[in-house]
């Protein structure tokens, strides 16, 4: 609910508001004037929103008589109210997330819309006798949003989830009255959980303001529950504890399932039956890998959809929360210089590279799942889908996911000759898992082709590996050579000079690079391949939020475009299932490579086969 009233500056008095309110039956139950010309609104979100619609139209009509207000603004609000009145059930989520504050002071009018996902900073002027503030007192200090971390004593929760939640709280992206719940099988008290996570919480380097007070406030709103070994009983107890803290008021709930994968289905099912609120929306976050194979993934998805709606399910992959991924659509769709070139006509190949060095620890499940299920299935294929999709009709998450799944369904079935597997050689002296199964790949390289009109014949080369020489995450888009290039004699056989390239780098040193041909200053004509360089650390003097912060904020906002939908999940499994079957049937074995090296030699031959020069370290 919002009213666009930022384009006019009328005089305004309490009497005009009071007369507007008086036309509504029962308005006195929701509105009262307090000291300092402050109008406080009481009541449930639903009844407040229904009454306020008429109020804002009445206010705008009155102002229109005093000063011209564009007719299309009034018309837009009427149309919005009409849609909402025809679909009252669709507004529950909006009511719980939005509260509008209108401040009219010194002859100016501004609207400030506050949601649980926006910073609680204010640009309101100091309150004077001539000002009027319209604010909402919803839950009387009780939580309007509750977040439960299932598996709260695990390493992921302690090192990533709780620090990300505090970072959002410290920066104002969580409501002050948020409720944080930790749930596990350990026998802890509230204070013991707070002590456990306190050492992992840090404040923003670029802020550090009121750090101690914010941390104390966050920890005071953190609660613990020992769920025991019966998930149904445990989730019922969690629901009771959350209801106790919520105090019977309307509140939304998010459940983050940070649990071992073998326990995931039972936990999700028990939660769906026993812990969902009926007084707000519920959302559930599930960590990768999303199944062991296509069959197990399909069974788990079926179980989830029997307890939750698709829009409630957020399958999270922290690699998709990197700024590089979020910037893909911005770079492409907001810059005219790139979008016309984004097709087979101008692009020769695309490379998506993710290599991890020895400093990057792997989860305990890695031996059973390997790099294909852990990295390729989600991160690599999602990156390609975002790169190659058609322009969505809007930035709505479902519109973007509709386009992504079309790309995944258009990827040609892989051939064994287009896939290279590898496994690092390690000894007991190396600080890595040396007990890997002989069939567990730690390196994967492949050439993918998208069979549609835009990308026909363009190889998408992907490389994902662990235990390599350096940590590296980047996308390289190489363009075709200039037809009939006037400088071909100067270029000779140097393909580096002949090829323009767009490089989107996340690690090391986040940057956007454009490789162009350029004349070297001086006498004579000598060409050089130069890079136009946007280095983020030089341009933007800000601390980059962790990817978990980004994705958790998206969940709170209901933005699901970076999370896999069930049909995307199935389409991704259909791409990698043949490779997994070749491994299981011993038709394809990993090539050994040196730990800390560059990976299997076969990957270089694969790139050469498809006419692509490896962008080496």
Residue of 379, 493, 550, 610 marked catalytic: 379
C-beta atoms surrounding 275 within 10 Å = 27
Give the helix/strand (H/E) hosting 409: helix 397-410
Locus of tokens 């019966």: 230
Surface-to-core class of residue 15, CB atoms within 10 Å of its CB (0-12 exposed, 13-18 middle, 19+ buried) = exposed
C-beta atoms surrounding 261 within 10 Å = 20
- Please tell me the distance from the alpha carbon of residue 139 to that of residue 177, in angstroms, as a whole number: 9
Angle at which helix 45-66 crosses helix 71-86, to 10 degrees, equals 160
- Please tell me the distance from the alpha carbon of residue 383 to that of residue 385, in angstroms, as a whole number: 5
Pairing of strands 511-519, 459-466: unpaired
Per-residue CA distances from 232 to 61, 147, 227, 242, 271 (Å): 55, 19, 9, 15, 7
Annotated catalytic residue 379: yes
Surface-to-core class of residue 304, CB atoms within 10 Å of its CB (0-12 exposed, 13-18 middle, 19+ buried) = buried
C-beta atoms surrounding 583 within 10 Å = 19
In contact, 444 and 603? CB cutoff 8 Å: no
Residue 280 DSSP class: S
- Please tell me the distance from the alpha carbon of residue 156 to that of residue 4, in angstroms, as a whole number: 42
- From edge to edge, which strands make up the β-sheet containing 527-535? 527-535, 511-519, 501-507, 472-479, 347-356, 459-466, 443-449, 419-425, 591-594
Residue 362 C-beta-side C-alpha neighbours within 13 Å:
25
In contact, 274 and 246? CB cutoff 8 Å: no
For 40, the 3-state DSSP assignment is strand
- Please tell me the distance from the alpha carbon of residue 260 to that of residue 160, in angstroms, as a whole number: 16
* Per-residue three-class SS string for 64-113: HHHCCCCHHHHHHHHHHHHHHHHCHHHHHHHHHHEEEEEEEECCEEEEEE
- Please tell me the distance from the alpha carbon of residue 207 to that of residue 143, in angstroms, as a whole number: 26
For 163, the 3-state DSSP assignment is helix
Q: Nearest CA to 596 among 357, 355, 354?
A: 357
- Please tell me the distance from the alpha carbon of residue 582 to that of residue 574, in angstroms, as a whole number: 14
- Please tell me the distance from the alpha carbon of residue 223 to that of residue 601, in angstroms, as a whole number: 52
First to last CA, the chain: 52
- Please tell me the distance from the alpha carbon of residue 529 to that of residue 392, in angstroms, as a whole number: 35
Residue 505 C-beta-side C-alpha neighbours within 13 Å:
20
Name residues whose C-beta falls within 8 Å of residue 180's C-beta, 6 or more positions apart in sequence. 146, 147, 149, 162, 165, 218, 221, 222, 223
Q: Return the active site residues.
A: 379
């Amino acid at each position: 609910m919002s009213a666009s009233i930022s384009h006019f500056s009328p005089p305004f008095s309490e009497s005009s508001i009071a007369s507007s309110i008086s036309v509504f039956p029962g308005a006195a139950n929701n509105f009262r004037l307090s000291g300092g010309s402050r109008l406080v609104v009481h009541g449930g979100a639903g009844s407040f929103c229904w009454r306020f619609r008429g109020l804002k139209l009445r206010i705008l009509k009155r102002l229109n008589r005093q000063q011209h207000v564009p007719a299309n603004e009034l018309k837009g609000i009427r149309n919005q109210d009409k849609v909402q009145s025809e679909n009252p059930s669709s507004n529950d989520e909006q009511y719980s997330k939005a509260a509008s504050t209108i401040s009219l002071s010194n002859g100016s009018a501004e609207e400030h819309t506050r949601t649980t996902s926006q910073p609680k900073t204010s640009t309101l002027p100091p309150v004077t006798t001539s000002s009027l503030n319209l604010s909402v007192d919803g839950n009387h200090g009780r939580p309007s949003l509750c977040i439960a971390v299932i598996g709260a004593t695990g390493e992921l929760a302690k090192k990533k989830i709780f620090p990300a939640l505090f970072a959002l709280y410290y920066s104002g992206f969580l409501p002050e009255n948020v409720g944080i719940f930790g749930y596990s099988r350990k026998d802890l008290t509230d204070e013991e959980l707070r002590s456990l996570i306190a050492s992992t919480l840090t404040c923003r380097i670029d802020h550090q303001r009121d750090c101690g007070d914010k941390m104390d406030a966050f920890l005071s709103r953190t609660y613990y529950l020992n769920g025991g070994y019966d998930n149904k009983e445990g989730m019922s107890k969690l629901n009771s504890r959350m209801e106790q803290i919520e105090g019977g008021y309307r509140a939304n709930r998010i459940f983050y399932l940070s649990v071992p994968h073998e326990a995931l289905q039972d936990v999700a099912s028990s939660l769906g039956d026993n812990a969902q609120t009926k007084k707000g929306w519920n959302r559930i976050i599930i960590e990768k890998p999303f199944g062991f194979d296509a069959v197990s993934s399909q069974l788990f998805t079926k179980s989830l959809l029997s307890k939750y709606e698709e829009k409630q399910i957020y399958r999270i992959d922290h690699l998709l929360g990197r700024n590089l991924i979020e910037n893909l659509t911005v770079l492409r769709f907001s810059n005219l210089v790139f979008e016309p070139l984004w097709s087979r006509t101008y692009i020769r190949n695309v490379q998506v590279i993710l290599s991890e060095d020895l400093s990057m620890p792997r989860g305990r499940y890695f031996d059973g799942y390997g790099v294909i299920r852990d990295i390729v299935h989600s991160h690599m294929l999602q990156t390609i889908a975002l790169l190659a999709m058609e322009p969505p009709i809007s930035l709505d998450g479902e519109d973007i996911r509709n386009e992504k799944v079309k790309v995944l369904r258009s990827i040609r079935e892989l051939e064994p000759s287009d896939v290279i597997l590898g496994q690092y050689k390690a000894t007991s002296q190396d600080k890595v898992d040396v007990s890997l199964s002989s069939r567990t790949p730690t390196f994967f390289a492949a050439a993918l082709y998208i069979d549609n009109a835009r990308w026909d014949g363009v190889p998408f080369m992907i490389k994902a590996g662990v235990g390599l020489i350096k940590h590296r995450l980047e996308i390289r888009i190489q363009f075709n050579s200039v037809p009939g290039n006037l400088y071909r004699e100067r270029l000779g056989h140097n393909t580096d000079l002949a090829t323009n390239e767009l490089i989107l780098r996340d690690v090391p040193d986040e940057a956007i690079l454009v490789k162009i041909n350029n004349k070297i200053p001086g006498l004579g004509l000598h060409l050089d391949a130069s890079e136009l360089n946007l280095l983020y650390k030089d341009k933007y003097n800000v601390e980059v939020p962790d990817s978990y912060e980004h994705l958790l904020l998206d969940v709170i906002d209901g933005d699901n475009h970076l999370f896999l939908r069930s049909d995307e999940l199935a389409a991704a499994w259909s791409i990698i299932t043949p490779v997994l079957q070749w491994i299981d049937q011993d038709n394809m074995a990993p090539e050994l490579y040196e730990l800390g090296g560059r990976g299997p030699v076969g990957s270089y031959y694969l790139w050469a086969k498809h006419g692509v020069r490896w962008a080496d370290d």
